């Protein structure tokens, strides 16, 4: 086997739809479904079946204040039986809502905060081998408070949310020491630390298109045959 070629030009992930033979919804959940799809890797290749979670996607927010601190919140996550330090985040479950507007809504609901300055920090597929969940993380600065009368009433697990301001470098140390496990928080903290080296000037504008998100390909989740 030859050695990998050196890559100096710009590179990145790319869409690569394959011929979809069939789709079956195995389970319809309250938030997401489990689907089973049959597809071929090549036009005349073997048919393969994969089961995965069809997810509406999500947004998350790394809040950075004027003192270089980020906002973390602690929330119980039942599947892993742990209280995790995370960043404000939520589902893209409002029809017609822009991604950044959803992030601002989640920031207000989970942290009682507003922000004047927004940038895209990082885009992720959280578990691409088993879920279609796409996550966009924003960097939010210019922080303000939501008026008391307009604050969201948090229920269930969100009612137990604890908030903490942490120096960004201390958060990086916590990630590298294995004390923070949430993937959106981990990716956001490390990305922010790198972006800070150039005073965040290389970050994308908040309204940057997100063509990788499944909602931008409405025929795909519903099982249309995609040729490729």
Catalytically active residues, by annotation: 158
* Kind and range of the H or E run holding 103: helix 99-111
- Residue 223 burial by CB count (10 A; 0-12/13-18/19+): exposed, middle or buried? middle
Q: How far apart are CA 157 and CA 126, in angstroms?
A: 21
Adjacency order of strands within the sheet including 33-40: 19-28, 33-40, 47-54
Give the integer Cα–Cα distance in Å for 43 and 227.
Answer: 8
């Amino acid at each position: 086997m030859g050695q990998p070629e050196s890559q100096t030009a710009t590179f990145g992930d790319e869409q690569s739809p394959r011929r979809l033979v069939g789709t079956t919804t195995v389970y319809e959940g309250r938030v997401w479904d489990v689907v089973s799809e049959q597809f071929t890797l090549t036009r005349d290749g073997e048919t393969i079946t994969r089961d995965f979670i069809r997810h509406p996607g999500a947004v998350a927010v790394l809040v950075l204040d004027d003192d270089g601190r980020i906002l973390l919140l602690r929330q119980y996550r039942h599947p892993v039986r742990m209280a995790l330090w995370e960043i404000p985040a939520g589902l893209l479950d409002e029809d017609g809502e822009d991604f950044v507007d959803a992030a601002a809504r989640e920031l207000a609901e989970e942290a009682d905060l507003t922000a004047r300055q927004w940038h895209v920090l990082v885009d992720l597929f959280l578990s691409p081998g088993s879920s279609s969940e796409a996550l966009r993380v924003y960097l939010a600065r210019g922080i303000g408070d939501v008026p008391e009368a307009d604050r969201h009433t948090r229920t269930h697990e969100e009612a137990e949310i604890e908030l903490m301001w942490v120096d960004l470098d201390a958060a990086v140390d916590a990630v590298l020491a294995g004390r923070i496990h949430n993937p959106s928080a981990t990716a956001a903290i490390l990305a922010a630390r790198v972006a800070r080296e150039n005073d965040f000037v290389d970050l994308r504008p908040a309204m940057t298109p997100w063509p990788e998100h499944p909602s931008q390909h409405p025929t795909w989740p519903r099982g249309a045959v995609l040729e490729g």
